[in-house]
Amino acid sequence: MRVTKRVIPAALIGVVATFTFAVSAGAHIEPDPSSVKPGSTNTIAFGIEHGCDESPTTKLAFQIPKGATKVTPQGATGWTGEVTGRVVTFTGGPLDSNTPGEIGEIKFTAPKKTGTLYWKVVQTCEVGETRWVSKSEKADHPAPAITVGKAKKKESGQGH
């Protein structure tokens, strides 16, 4: 019986550690929608899942990717957005470090060529900053990515 009592708590610790890692590994800046049609005009919301450690978010600066044109930000309540050169900056809040939310939307025209648009972001908090700039999805801080692709065809047998 003593072996069983020790094995169960050890197994439980492993499950909790795995779950905690999976949650923190999935905490990114997520675009919605994450795919658009080539040459289309789109409005993208970027979901912010957390601040910098325990510090609230006060600013986000998005580098406008090559090919994205006619870029216009619209800040959410309590946030303002502006474009300076090839950077969209949202300031305001603060957005609580443990409360997911959106700071605004970015309207833009996608390039006519298919591919991936990486919106590199610097997240500034009351204390510290996080740079979401990696093009690798497996990185600790991947840049939000929007796929520019062909429109999906409806599957046969669905619809009217």
Q: What is the pLDDT of residues 94-153, one digit of tens each?
A: 999 998 999 999 999 999 999 999 999 999 999 999 999 999 989 999 999 999 996 454
User: Residue 115 belongs to what H/E stretch?
Assistant: strand 115-118
What mean pLDDT, rounded, does the chain reach? 83
Q: Fold for domain 28-148?
A: Immunoglobulin-like (2.60.40)
Q: In terms of pLDDT, which residue wins out, 27 or 72?
A: 72
Residues contacting 133, CB < 8 A, separation 6+: 120, 121, 122, 141, 143
18 pLDDT exceeds 90? no
